[in-house]
Structure 1
Amino acid sequence: MSSTTDTSRSILREVGGADNVADLTYCATRLRFQLHDRSKVDLHALESIPSVLGVVPQGGAGVQVVMGGGVADFYNVIAKEPGMGDTDTTPAKKEYGGVRGKYEWINYCFEFLSDTFRPVLWALLGASLIITMLVLADTFGWQDFRAPMEDQPDGYVLLHAMWRSVFYFLPIMIGATASRKLGANEWVGAAIPAALLTPEFLSLGAAEDVVHIFGLPLVLNDYSSQVFPPLIAAVGLYWVEKGLKKIIPSAVHMVFVPFFSLLIMIPATAFIFGPFGIGIGNGISNFLEWTNDLSPFILAIVIPLLYPFLVPLGLHWPLNAIMVQNLATLGYDFIQGPMGAWNFACFGVVAGVFFVSLKEKNKAMRQVSFGGLMAGLLGGISEPSLYGVLLRFKKTYFRLLPGCLVGGIVIGFFDVKANAFVFTSLLTIPAMDPWGGYALGIAAAFATSFLLTVVLDYRGRDEKAEILAQLEAERIAAGEEEDARIAEADAVAAGTAAGTAGGADAAPVKPALRPGVVTVVTAPLEGEVLALSETPDAAFAGGALGNGVCIDPMGDTVFAPADGTILTVQKTGHAVGLRLDSGIELLIHIGIDTVKMAGEGFEVLVEKKQKVTAGTPLVRFDRAAIEAAGYSPLTPVVVVNTQKFGTVDGMPAPVAAPGDDIITVTAKAPTVDAAAAS
């Protein structure tokens, strides 16, 4: 079974199963679930799935699962799972899936724009890379990108047709997606702007000409590449269809609703909605152009500083429409260049996270950051980085915004403009003018955010402590699995040597794991024994790493509480993990955040895989040095394999010496054999 299939089924299970899914769609990077009951979703379990880059609850019933560029593969598997055929496949209802502001109609407007443009993203991305190929050809002098088609070789004419098909017919795509979002018929929504692109309509005259149709003046416009006219037409179609369905018998809806919708909406769009939409687009574009003419430098700084707040809310899509509008009316765009500063500052943060994850051997964040980095650098898509990293850790924006500022200043200095609509990646640098100034700007943005992330880290103090503690626990668990495999191999070898017919007997169950057995763990160091909840660290206090106690140390040495094996010991000396011969695994973490002391004040006395006996000194430490460095000396002692036992209970005490009881571990109750019982 493929990992894609396994991951897809895990995602479906954690969102509550097929019965809980009302609707499932996907965009460039995310699975978009609408659920019957979102309380059934296990968000923590979803985020723990290795291929999941992030989870974003949306509205009251929505959940977005960020998967990266391969999202379609996961969608296809989930859509074929049993029970998924019962999900709603009708056009989307007029409901918004996110919280944007105080007024619901404003919320829905932004959601409408976002969901209209998302499905078109694939075609736009493909077209932008074809444009990049042609711009590169222009840069190397192979052809003139802006030359008339009749002056270009046939091969380049075909390449131009490839990308222009997306932009020329963009109104049709927008008409379809906007209508679907509103709940109107998407194919009728596509047919309305398509009528304004037909040879028959174009034969009426040139743009800005006025012709008379049945005595009524019609202002002609070039509707190719326009986005506002189809958006407005889709809204009109929604109300027209709604009215027609009330007065036309349901038995003939299929015939007469689309007939009258086209009969009403195509002329209405040609006479009213189309010119009005072009006026809106030109007005916004002219205002931004005026601002750019007033001070391109200021605009270049403002744009990248706004994008980190616009993108998470989906509010950046209207600016994409303006970019297309600028190219259609001005022949260039002044937003995409500064936007590149935000994108590459974002990618710089993620590259810094990848670098830190390599040092920490943090496999999960290494995978998330690398996937986001590749999607960004090669595709210009920021969502995997945004949802996988930036919105998960509270310090990341303080690393991101300086990069946006520095990149915006450089790009503003060179007054960068885009010659075509492209996604800002490494591959599309030649589409900018001057491309050298743009390359310098995005490099400055990337480097600034990267260095800040590497030097200052991307996590808050609590976040980092929790992650490092989890990594410690994972290393202990990995050590247990490795030793178990060795023991199994030894047992098999011993059985073979003895000539046993049935192979080796099952490995003996560790004493503490035998059903009903109660085992007591003794103190590994002298001090006051506190409840684990009093630990000044969220991960330990909440029991995320296992149950146990916290010790306020009075001595300076950690001892082995019983016979066992060292599973892991940090070079810095601040933590040691061991598996007792009873089967209990302990993590002893000396102080909180003491990893930052880099070993100062600690002396390691044992090594990994070393066999130790009760009372063996493991680590010496200097409490005064810990406190002088500003860290808490409280030492969590936790049973990291708590889930294997029935109960693990701490025993607080005013003072305990090494060898005194501090934790009671009770094995799970024996299971009752139903057959024997009967």
Structure 2
Amino acid sequence: MGKYHELAEKIVTNVGGKDNINSLTHCITRLRFKLKDESIAQDEVLKNMDGVVTVMKSGGQYQVVIGNHVPDVFAEVIDVAGISGDSEESASGGNLFNRLIDILSGCFQPFLGALCAAGMIKGLNALLVFIGTRGVFEYTTTTGTYVMLNAIGDSIFMFMPVILGYTSAKKFRLNPMIGIVIGAALCYPTIQGSALQAAFTATAAEGAAAPYSLLGLPAYETFLGIPWVGATYTSSVVPIIFIVAFAAQIQRLAKSIIPPVIQTFVVPFMVLLISLPVGFLVIGPVISMLTDLLSSGFQSLMDFSPVMYGLLLGFFWQVLVIFGLHWSVVPLNIMQITTLGYSQVLVAMFGASFAQTAVVAAMYFKLKDQKLKSLCPPAIISGIFGVTEPAIYGITLPKKMPFFYSMIGGSVAGAFLMINGNTSYTSGGLGVFGIFNYITPEGDARGMWIAIAAILIAATIGFGLTMAFWKDDTVEEAVEGQTAMTVRKEVITSPIEGTIAPLSSAQDEAFAQGILGKGILIHPSKGEVVAPFDGTVMTLFPTKHAIGLISENGLELLIHVGLDTVQLNGTYFEAHVQQGDKVVRGQKLLSFDKDALVKAGYTIETPVLVTNTADYLDIIESDKKEVVCSDDLITALV
């Protein structure tokens, strides 16, 4: 259940219930319902609801204005209403790689807390064995306490397919209970590769025919005449995700052809009967071979140059986290630990969080902005325990160079860890708890001491570089008649050439009232949108009618071309960037045929809004009548 679940329930109730919903899509700020009967929707209740900005009715749509977090609310609403939402925004930008990252993160994120807890318990057990071997007290791998703690910590790794069966079923919209059954089937003892091989040996001893084989792998008898390839799936990671994805397609097909009155039990019957044999015969063996090849590839790269591997992964790890690309590596680390009992894939990133935390500590002594300075202590505390998002997004990344210094610290620490051959024996402990990941199950703590040394290296470099080279760019300005105060400003140049007007003159009430943010209205004279600052494309819809940007200093800007142009599904629009792209001021973002839009009956007035206005003291609009793309349009004061 997500953070917007309660809000979603209230929205569904007040639009007339799920039976009143024909369809639901969303654009950049709004849930766009098509209702069977708009008259039974409770307009005033929705408008006064916490989390809802206002309600609009336009183009046959009942629009509930939410704001920038509309994708999260949308996901909860379709879950509450039990409908299949057809979002106007594809997850993670729509390309194949981004979709893969989105799938992996969606499957692993729900149980990361439990995974961390299990890893910490295994690390604690290893620490106790280490202390026991020093004669402090009796504690070995055969004691009852060790056996129980090991079972608690190891269970999530042993039955990983069951956990992933549930989370991946939620991701692919398969019945979650079916996902659990599929995961449990993969863990069933007698179908594991070792059990099958034992059966082969017994069969051969009795003089039976030699077992089948496929691509050099052993097989056990046949299923409907097809050789059954033996593979071990307990503790596996990737095969279950692909099998569940296939099962979701079977469920969708089964629901379309099976009468509703018997779907409750016939659909699961068909899904299990088809997806699991295909999983055992084809998907599981193929994916297992591919993941083995990928694992071998990473190992070959590490063997070729451990130093280079450590430098690169340590340097870029925080960048990978920012863009969510670390999810392409995390599953491989978990897979190696669950199958081999150890992994070096993520060892080189261990120092990065400590470098980041040390940089924030140094910035605390040099910051002039008291508001930003007050954010440092809690960011340092969370960073010590491995949670660096507050430090990255709130402090170092907006200031640029401190973030770069943390990357250097993480890089050197990564090389140090790889030179010393450090190996992780469990996955879970974050921050300082992560040092226990490097104690072997037998109690050898050499890796822990190397990890502690890496922490000191990363922190020293990050702290030292920041203290030596970084200067706060905050400008001290004296305000007449008042004590001197700290003021920072960010200038947004015009993204479009044309005439400008107050935002209050917008035809769309939500924009005109300023409830989505402060800004200005542009009547374009040229069908081109350019970047108004250096930053990142935060949101780009497939319809290409709107784009959300975030500047390097954290200012969030929405550029929305035309009124109701979302209904054109991208006709007359062309995008020159993708979601997640870095852009520089003046770079072309979008093109649109303004004459064709007007001829089709659409207004092309374009609101340009600062959507996080609460973060600024004031938003000052230009007083010019006409602007070109190099002119200052909006000034935001911090």
- Give the TM-score, by structure 1 length: 0.54
Distance in 1, Cα, partners of 2:321 & 2:85: 24
Three-state SS of the structure 2 residue aligned to 1:224 is coil
| Greater relative contact order (CA < 8 Å, ≥ 6 in sequence) | 2
Matches within 5 A, 1:508-527: none
Deviation string, structure 1 residues 121-148 (Cα, Å, up to 9, x no partner): 111111121122012112223599xxx9
- Equivalences for 1:35-74 in 2 at 5 Å? 36=26, 38-39=28-29, 63=69
Distance 1:412 1:196, change over 3 A: closer
Inter-partner Cα distance in structure 2 for 1:189 and 1:261 = 10
Check conservation: 1:297, 1:415, Cα contact below 8 A: no
CA distance in 1, matches of 2:86, 2:283: 21
Task: Kindly state the Cα deviation for residue 199 of structure 1 after the two structures are TM-superposed.
Answer: 3.8
Partner of 2:221: 212
Give SS of 1:211's match.
strand
| Alpha-carbon contact 1:96-1:112 (below 8 Å) kept | no
Query: Is contact 2:116–2:430 with CA below 8 Å preserved after alignment?
Result: no
CA deviation map 1:368-399 (0-9, x unaligned): x3333323322x23333333334433333322
2:163–2:183 contact (8 Å) kept in structure 1: no
Aligned match for 2:268, one of 255, 258, 275: 258
The structure 2 residue matched to 1:450, chosen from 463, 472, 482, is: 463
Q: Indicate the residue corresponding to 2:318 in structure 1.
A: 308
Per-residue displacement from partner, 1:31-53 (whole Å, max 9, x unpaired)?
xxx99454479xxxx9xxxxxxx
Task: Say if 2:329 is the partner of 1:319.
Answer: yes
Q: Deviations over 1:591-636 (max 9, x none)?
A: xxxxxxxxxxxxxxxxxxxxxxxxxxxxxxxxxxxxxxxxxxxxxx
Query: Is the contact made by 1:93 and 1:183 (CA closer than 8 Å) also made in structure 2?
Result: no
Letter in 2 for 1:253: Q
The 1:301/1:38 distance shift into structure 2, 3 A limit, reads same
Letter paired with 2:374: R
The alpha-carbon distance between structure 1 residues 287 and 421, as it changes in their structure 2 partners (threshold 3 A), is same
Q: Classify the secondary structure of the residue corresponding to 1:246.
A: helix
One-letter identity of the residue aligned with 2:381 = M
Q: Please show how residues 188-337 of structure 1 align to structure 2 within 5 Å.
A: 188-202=178-192, 204-206=195-197, 209-214=218-223, 215-337=225-347
Residue type at the aligned position of 2:152: M
2:183/2:240 contact within 8 Å kept = yes
1:410 to 409, 412, 416: 416
How far apart in 2 are the matches of 1:349 and 1:95? 40
**Aligned length, in residue pairs:** 425
1:338 and 2:338 correspond: no
Deviation of residue 538 (structure 1)?
2.6
Please state if 1:377 is matched with 2:384.
Answer: yes
Residues 1:538 and 2:538 aligned together? no
| Higher radius of gyration, 1 or 2 | 1
Give the conservation status (yes or no) of the 8 Å contact 2:160–2:234. yes
Q: Quick one: which amino acid aligns to residue 130 of structure 2?
A: T
1:175 corresponding residue in structure 2 = 165
Q: Distance in 1 between matches of 2:468 and 2:302?
A: 36
Distance 1:430 1:85, change over 3 A: closer
3-state SS of the aligned residue for 1:218?
strand
Q: Against the structure 1 CA distance between its residues 409 and 87, is the aligned structure 2 distance closer, same or farther, given a 3 Å change threshold?
A: closer
- Report the Cα offset of residue 228 of structure 1: 0.7
What per-residue deviation string (whole Å, max 9, x for no partner) do you get for residues 9-67 of structure 1? 9x999x9x968999xxxxxxxxxxx99454479xxxx9xxxxxxxxxxxxx986399xx
Tell whether the 8 Å contact from 1:332 to 1:417 is kept in structure 2 after alignment.
yes
5 Å-filtered alignment, 1:109-120, equals 109-120=100-111
Name the residue aligned to 1:425. 431
Aligned-pair CA distance for 1:220: 2.4
Partner amino acid for 1:382?
A: T
* Amino acid in the other structure paired with 1:210: A
Structure 1: distance between partners of 2:105 and 2:311: 24
Aligned alpha-carbon RMSD (Å): 4.7
Report SS of the residue matched to 2:69.
strand
Tell me how far apart the structure 1 counterparts of residues 115 and 481 of structure 2 sit (CA, whole Å). 45
Equivalent residue for 1:126?
117
Residue 177 of structure 2 is aligned to residue 187 of structure 1? yes
1:437 to 2:427 alignment: no
Change (3 A) 1:282 1:382: farther
Query: Aligned in 2, Cα 1:275/1:242: closer, same or farther, shift over 3 Å?
Result: same
Alignment of 1:160 with 2:145, yes or no, is no
Deviations 1:398-430 (A, max 9, x none): 222221222123223212211221334212213
Counterparts of 1:80-99 in structure 2 under 5 Å?
88=80, 90=82
Identity of aligned residues (%): 23
The residue identity in structure 1 corresponding to 2:460 is A
Q: For residues 128 and 277 of structure 1, what CA distance do their matches in structure 2 show? A: 26
Query: 1:178, 1:85 → 2: CA distance?
Result: 19
Q: How many Å separate the matches in 1 of 2:103 and 2:451?
A: 32
Letter aligned with residue 174 of structure 1: L
Q: Could you tell me how far 1:211 is from its partner in structure 2?
A: 1.0
Contact 2:477 2:484 survives alignment (8 Å): no
Counterpart amino acid of residue 151 in structure 2 = A
CA contact (8 A) 1:131 1:422 kept: no
**Does the aligned pair in 1 maintain the 2:27–2:88 contact within 8 Å?**
no
SS at match of 1:217: strand
Alpha-carbon distance in 1 for matches of 2:312, 2:231? 33
Structure 2: gaps (5+ residues): 16-23, 32-50, 52-65, 199-216, 439-445, 494-616, 624-638
Tell me the SS of whatever aligns to 2:252.
helix
- Residue in 2 aligned with 1:388? 394
Give the Cα separation in 2 of the matches to 1:473 and 1:344.
44
Match of 2:531 in 1: none
Matched residue type, 2:132: G
* Structure 1 SS opposite 2:344: coil
AA aligned to 2:179 is G
SS for the counterpart of 1:300 is helix
SS of the residue corresponding to residue 398 of structure 2 reads coil
Structure 1 range deviating more: 408-417 or 315-324: 408-417
Q: Aligned pair 1:362/2:370, yes or no? A: yes
Task: State the one-letter code of the partner of 1:105.
Answer: L
- Is contact 1:375–1:381 with CA below 8 Å preserved after alignment? yes
Partner of 1:554: none
Q: State the 1:232 CA deviation.
A: 0.7
Taking structure 1 as reference, are residues 87 and 424 closer, same or farther at Cα in structure 2, changes over 3 Å only? closer
2:380 counterpart letter in structure 1: L
CA distance in 1, matches of 2:478, 2:329: 41
SS at match of 1:316: helix
Q: Give the corresponding residue for 2:97.
A: 106
1:346 CA displacement: 2.1
Q: 1:120 to 1:179 in 2, by over 3 A?
A: same
Structure 1 residues 123 and 398: alpha-carbon distance in aligned structure 2, compared to 1, 3 A threshold: same
User: Which ranges of structure 1 fall in alignment gaps of 5 or more residues?
Assistant: 1-7, 23-33, 47-59, 66-74, 478-534, 543-642, 651-678
Q: Deviations over 1:86-111 (max 9, x none)?
A: 9746498686978756x633322221
- C-alpha change, 1:386 and 1:90, in structure 2 (3 Å) is farther
